[in-house]
Amino acid sequence: MKVFTDSLGTRVELRFDESIEARHILVIPTFNGKYVFTRHKKRGVEFPGGKLEDRETIYDAVCRELFEETGAKVKTITYLGTYTVYDEEPFNKAAYKVEVDAFIEKCDYHETLGPVLYEHLEDIHEKDKSILLKDPCIQYLYDQTKTM
């Protein structure tokens, strides 16, 4: 287990046990050697993710959220870890590295403006980054994908 404190001072615990039930997902996708981000309309550039819908499997949620926010189709999915955010109401979020097979251009990317690709997280201007990209747990997970 790894322990982090987010920018709001909230405790975050990362475990590497895929059996932990999670209702939220984070996707760290790559395509042709670049990381795939989405530009959220309010928060800025971030990795895709969201909540599971009723009766949806975690893998279905990964594919759906990635497609909704970027138009990307999944080639491979690799589990990274599950982190618990000890907010007023604690929640678990499972994180996955995804290799993207292809993109389908869409007219609507839900609450985002579609995909943006960067070679490195550090290539994104600080003012454009969502608060989520500044989160130490998400940065740790990103760093882990560099060696995969």
C-alpha span between 39 and 109 (Å, rounded): 10
Token reading at 146: 């560099």
The reported pLDDT for the residue numbered 12 is: 97
The reported pLDDT for the residue numbered 129 is: 97
Supply the CATH classification number for the domain 2-145: 3.90.79.10
Work out the angle at residue 105's Cα, subtended by the Cα atoms of residues 104 and 108, and round it to the nearest 5 degrees: 120
Residue-wise pLDDT tens for the chain (148 aa)? 999 999 889 999 999 999 999 999 999 999 999 999 999 999 999 999 999 999 999 999 999 999 999 999 999 999 999 999 999 999 999 999 999 999 999 989 988 999 999 999 999 999 999 999 999 999 999 999 998 8
Distance of CA 37 to the CA centre of its chain: 8
What is the 3-state composition of the chain as percent helix, strand, coil, each rounded to the nearest 5? 20, 45, 35
- Count of other CB atoms within 10 angstroms of residue 75: 13
Domain residue limits, the chain: 2-145
85, 94 Cβ separation under 8 angstroms: no
